[in-house]
Structure 1
Amino acid sequence: MNGVVCDSAHYGEGTGNAGEAEGAGNANHAEGAGKAEGAEPAWRRVAERATLAALLRCCVREVAGPRGQVWAAAPYLLLRLAGTLIRVPASGGIALRFDGDAERLWHGAWRPLSADHLVRLVEAELGEIPPVDAEQDELRAVDAEPEETRPVEGEPGKARPRENEPGEVQPVETEPTEIRPVEGEPGDARPGEAERGEVQPVERESGAASGNGGAGDFGAGRGEGSVAARPVLRRNEEFAGQVAASRAAIAVMLRERAGAKPPQDPWLASEQALVLGHPFHPSPKSRGGAGWVRYAPESHAAFPLRLLGVRDDVLATGGDSGALDGLGEAPPGYTLLPAHPWQLELLAAELAAPFADGRLVDLGDAALPAVPTSSVRTVYEPAIGKCLKFGLDVRITNCVRKNAWYELASAAEVSARLAPVFADLARRLPGTRWLPEPGYRSARLGTRLLEGLGVIVRSSPWEVAGPGVTPILAGTLAALGAVPDGEAPEPAAVVTALRREPVRWWGAYVDHVALPVLDAYFGHGVVLEPHLQNVLVGIDADGMPIEAIFRDMEGTKLVEGRHDLSGLPDPVTRAATYDAARGWNRVVYCIMVNHLPEIAATVAGTAAPHARDDLLHELWADARGRVARHAGRGRLPLPLRDLLAGAPLPAKANLTTRWARSADRDAGYVPVANPFAGVPA
């Protein structure tokens, strides 16, 4: 989503696992993660491990797996990339948790693999450059600790030692690279089959497995609709710089956290805990623009919003945005409009004229500091108890985080239509909650400023959570114990409950998170986007999940043909809808690939660190039974039957999307193992 640039609001969806060796586990706690004097190299080691792990996961899922170059050799996972054999201890099913250091085979011996070397392997595999396993490349290998870098202006992908704020990355504007796939675009299904929401089966060359915990679950083999046939892609000069910048940003975040005080609010603390970023993204913490550290949730930032007055004749508003008036008082003839201070810096040139002629007036800072949440651009404003979603004209991971004008309108439109849907879901599935987005406000000063100054009002989770319930970001639950600086944003009772009754805890989680998503799609024609950053889980005093709170109207869609949208402008209708096939693929990716596997791997790793695969199998058998029982014994929709039967699932291809420099809305999908495969029916 995010305007015309991408179609997903959030890509910080989760991190690693407690006990991982990728900068998120016990080894990093032992290092003190940078809190001891002179420990900055520890921050860099954490960042290096996290960067290597995320890129390696992408290679398994999107490159080596679809090409049949992944093999299980317990406890290792082996893959071949650009002619180089790599091994890493792995567990966790399709969540791909790495339990030790990754190594590469060179001249008959296993040597440590660095993120820089892996980048060169990716460049050789995907681009038109020579392989990198020759002896001369070995001599050039950079296995030392990475330095914080920023791309050189005018030379995309080339970096130099930082000169300004550490970890800052300048945005790079490029034209999309042409892709010449051998057999269609990645993720495309054959005509007549995509209409049913099916994902084509995968023929594995090796390592075939059930999908619920065995070592062969990690990569899909060749299959229709995958990227099995190697696409011919142009060389991407930006790629190495993006990976390096993301690694530098993680190190900076860890350094800043060491001297900052986390929020006392457990919900806000969980929002600011996603330090390592998306576990399946090649540059999970890449940030465009200058000065981002001041506004980064991972750095425990807090800052006052800037209050503007919009002259009433140029006011743009929709739905109910009245909550914003509680932030202050505008002069006569003006209406109050809060603004993100970073966005005002980014739009300074365009704002000069409306400030000069009085269409806008500067009313100063808000009374209290706002707290940024996990998406960076959405903040919690304590003065009015609301979340406010701003646009930021910077690229964060895949997308420039804009609020397109039609998305401002569609948020309020979708929100109004969801009230009866969630009322029905809550009646049949107690504990189902959502965060309405009743209205927006901006200024009619041309499209650029209409979108750039637009702010969407969203309820806060404390407004909808039940008594005694603590909302915690699902992505933080997926990374229990993995915050590298030793903070524990999740309630301690969660870990106790997980260890005491892991299957019961997991069953409650599935009931509250997965079942409403499926009911919304099949029963109401509503596509929720329940990735790890869009769901808050309500935890009771005993550490058990008893509520699920769904958010983000930009990611929520209405299925075409199931709703009367007559009278809406075409762009608003397009922004608010998916066809049935695309909607189902989005649902099943978010809940069955992005979300539940990460939670399952964390439950198994926390409760049974020495018997993870056995517990994983039990968890997925329990989840399948719950979904099947809830669906009933009648004739089930074909997509649901395929899901329960274990058909492969679509996984978003972030690596190849970034390599091709494609818009996020054009991202392909690759098939991965279904965790329901191989468990009792």
Structure 2
Amino acid sequence: MYHSPTAEAEVAEELAAVRPGLLPRYTAELPGARAAVLTRLWRALAHEPLPWVTGRVSGAHSLALRLADGRTLHGPHADPYATGGHVAAVRLDRERYDDPARLMTDLPVPHAAGFAVELGHSVASLALSRADADHPKEWSARDWEWEQRVVDGHPFHPNCRSRPGFSVADQLAYGPEHRQVVELGTVAVPAAECLVSGDWPRELRDGKDLLLPVHPWQATHVLKRSYAPWRPAHPLMSLRTLALPDGPHVKTALSARLTSSVRDISAYSVGASAVLSALGTDLAARTDGLLHITRTLGAATAHSPDLAALLRESPQVYAGPGERVIPVAALPATSLPGSPGWLAAFARLALTVGLRLLDLGVALEAHGQNLLVVLAADSTPLRLVYRDLADIRISPARLSRHGITPPALTGRLITDDETTLRRKLFGSLVAGALAGTAGSGPALGAALSAVLPDLPRTPDLTALREGPLPAKALTLMRLSPDTPGDQWTALPNPLVLEPGTSDQ
């Protein structure tokens, strides 16, 4: 049986050299990692508008996808909101495939070969992450410890753990799930050559130079220059953002492709950061204490997306005595989502806040990484914390309607298009954070059914209740490298899921 030998064998060979004791566990985790990535890929094939899938036929116990080349893919029904499904194999005509990379290799579609390589790396990296997962069962006190418990990465992206350009040693050193401390450095740049937003701390100034925090991987592989040691820090889910021991978070430029995108920090983001931070603080004050926005303390760039950094408040500063702040992506690592009552309470809080801000004029990208929940000592969801305003959408018309002066910004963040605004919020919050927490379409539908009748009736709520649910077409985007920007699919409304879509 073919099993992406290149990526899996390469990781095994490197692992044998740098940490041989982990090799047996890595090998044992490979079948489960293949199934996890195949499950995500099959979901995409079943629900995304892929031009070479010409028809979908749902039977009593299976789903058939008719392809443009005349062949047919057969597999189980695909719940678009399931995170715990396990697609062990699918069939292309009569041939069985249990490896997502091999399946993609044998599909004669544009850009399939490159995507197949990424899928192979996703499998191998996921197996490595699972092999080294050893997290305590008790509740964690520090915010960064929760980030380490998100072992499987993105719950719906086939490239959930793809980290091209990272060796096994790099992954073990810098991946949050491997629980290492990263020694950040600084690079000195003349202040006159930098763009600065907000207050740049004295600690990161040296005469006429600014000291820009830099990730060691970036310094070695992209900047290819030496750097001065600065501070130890704990890597967070995004990999490029790290928590300093005394609280502030440092978002570094890390020009590597993680899941879908190459991550860097643009001059646009740096220039907009202080304005966005002020706007976010103003809008959060209008939510009756239900939302906090982590403020950007300072941002700077050497006019290069490869050499820039942002300093941001830790979400932990918004936790009161006895309270915990947990990233939504880490909630499945707790027992909380198993309680329908708790899930409904969380959904009510998240939708109340998200729809309120959307009505005011800001669509949050409230996925499980950006959104955190503040829990009481008895785990009741109390408030939300949102971090990283770099990819929200702002409607000047909606802000003005509420008497709020629109920020002096232009560019990609600004739009009055209702479809764009709703896609941003619903795709990240409902199809992302809430679906990933609920773990299935029926659980998500039940939570929404319990809370939507209690929310203020707005056109946005009507669109959520009555239309299909937008979600990023993540696989289509990877197979369309020449098409810039996000691409979207319309998922069946979780309130009225079609028969059979829940039995993955």
Pairwise same-fold verdict (TM > 0.5):
yes
Encode CA deviations 1:68-120: one digit per residue, 9 max, x unaligned: 414152xx4423254234233665x633642563343765xx95633244324
Match of residue 345, structure 1, among 220, 229, 234: 220
The alpha-carbon deviation at position 654 of structure 1 amounts to 1.1
Structure 2 Cα separation of the partners of residues 471 and 390 of structure 1: 23
CA–CA separation in structure 2 for the residues paired with 1:619 and 1:657: 30
For the pair 1:270 / 2:131, whether they are aligned, the reply is no
Report the alpha carbon displacement of residue 48 of structure 1 after superposing the two structures with TM.
1.2
Letter in 1 for 2:386: F
Of 342, 351, 369, 1:505 maps to: 342
Aligned length: 466
Aligned residue number for residue 478 of structure 2: 658
Report if the CA contact (8 A) 2:294-2:385 is conserved: yes
Contact 2:130 2:152 in 1 (8 A): no
Is contact 2:337-2:438 (8 Å) kept?
no
Instruction: Measure, in 2, the Cα distance between the counterparts of 1:304 and 1:422.
Output: 34
Contact 2:364 2:393 in 1 (8 A): yes
Unpaired stretches in structure 1, ≥5 consecutive residues = 1-33, 128-233, 353-361, 481-489, 603-611
Structure 1 residue aligned with 2:10: none
Return the offset for 1:314: 3.2
For 2:9, the equivalent position in structure 1 comes to none
Residue in 2 aligned with 1:458? 312
The CA distance in 1 between the partners of 2:444 and 2:455, in whole Å, is 21
Q: Which amino acid aligns with 2:64?
A: L
How big is the shift at 1:549? 1.0
C-alpha change, 1:237 and 1:617, in structure 2 (3 Å) is: closer
Equivalent runs, 1:305-454 vs 2, <5 Å: 305-322=184-201, 325-326=202-203, 331-349=206-224, 362=227, 364-367=228-231, 369-383=232-246, 385-425=247-287, 427=288, 430-443=289-302, 447-448=303-304, 451-454=305-308
Q: Is the 8 A contact 2:240 2:254 kept in 1?
A: yes
Matched, 1:521 2:358: yes
Aligned to 1:536: 372
Against the structure 1 CA distance between its residues 630 and 263, is the aligned structure 2 distance closer, same or farther, given a 3 Å change threshold?
closer
Deviation at 1:252, TM superposition (A): 2.6
Structure 2 counterpart of 1:642, which letter?
Answer: A
Structure 2 CA distance for partners of 1:317 and 1:103, relative to 1, 3 Å = closer
Where do 1:54-65 residues align within 5 Å?
54-62=40-48
Shift of 1:380: 0.6
| CA distance, structure 2, for counterparts of residue 461 and residue 43 of structure 1 | 33
Q: Deviations over 1:614-666 (max 9, x none)?
A: x66543320322xxx2215xxx32x432322x211222111111112146x52
Q: Calculate the aligned-residue CA RMSD, in Å.
A: 3.3
Distance in structure 2 (CA, Å) of the matches to 1:400 and 1:274? 21
Q: 1:402 to 1:36 in 2, by over 3 A?
A: closer
> What is the one-letter code of the residue matched to 2:56?
Q
Aligned mate of 1:624, from 445, 452, 464: 452
Change (3 A) 1:594 1:37: closer
Pick the aligned partner of 1:246 from 96, 102, 122.
122
Partner-residue secondary structure (3-state), 1:38: helix
Q: Distance in 1 between matches of 2:134 and 2:35?
A: 19
Distance 1:284 1:503, change over 3 A: closer
TM-score by length of 2: 0.82
Q: Tell me, in whole angstroms, the C-alpha distance in 2 between the residues paired with 1:304 and 1:284.
A: 25
- The 1:67–1:620 alpha-carbon spacing in structure 2 relative to 1, beyond 3 Å, is farther
Shift of 1:64: 7.7
Tell me if the contact between 1:58 and 1:655 (Cα under 8 Å) persists in the aligned partners. yes
Structure 2 regions of 5+ residues with no counterpart?
A: 1-19, 499-504
Question: 1:21 corresponds to which residue?
Answer: none
Deviations 1:5-48 (A, max 9, x none): xxxxxxxxxxxxxxxxxxxxxxxxxxxxx999833321212221
Asked if residue 87 in structure 1 is aligned to residue 75 in structure 2, the reply is yes
Note the C-alpha offset of 1:677. Answer: 3.6
Query: Is residue 535–residue 548 contact of structure 1 (8 Å, CA) maintained in 2?
Result: yes
Partner SS state of residue 282, structure 2: helix
Distance 2:123 2:428 in 1: 25
Aligned identity (percent) is 25
Aligned AA (2:252): F
Matching residue within 29, 33, 56 for 1:69: 56
The alpha-carbon distance between structure 1 residues 510 and 260, as it changes in their structure 2 partners (threshold 3 A), is closer
| 1:62 to 1:320, Cα distance in 2 relative to 1, 3 A | same
The AA in structure 2 aligned to 1:380 is A
How far 1:678 moved relative to its partner? Answer: 7.8
- Which stretch shifts more, 96-105 or 284-293? 96-105
Separation in structure 2 between the aligned mates of residue 376 and residue 513 of structure 1, nearest angstrom: 25
Contact kept? 1:435, 1:458, Cα under 8 Å: yes
Aligned mates of 1:288, 1:413 — CA distance in 2: 34
Give 3-state SS (helix, strand or coil) of 2:116's partner.
helix
Question: What is the alpha-carbon distance in structure 2 between the residues aligned to residue 336 and residue 398 of structure 1?
Answer: 30
Distance 1:409 1:262, change over 3 A: farther
Looking at structure 2, the residues matched to 81 and 269 of structure 1 have their Cα atoms a distance apart, in angstroms, of 45
Task: Give the greater-gyration-radius structure (CA).
Answer: 1
2-side partners of 1:388 and 1:37: how far apart?
33
Structure 2 distance, partners of 1:259, 1:334, is 41
Q: What letter matches 1:78 in structure 2?
A: L
Residue deviations 1:364-414, cap 9 Å, x none? 3224x211111111111114x101111112211211111110111112211
Cα drift, residue 589 of structure 1: 1.3
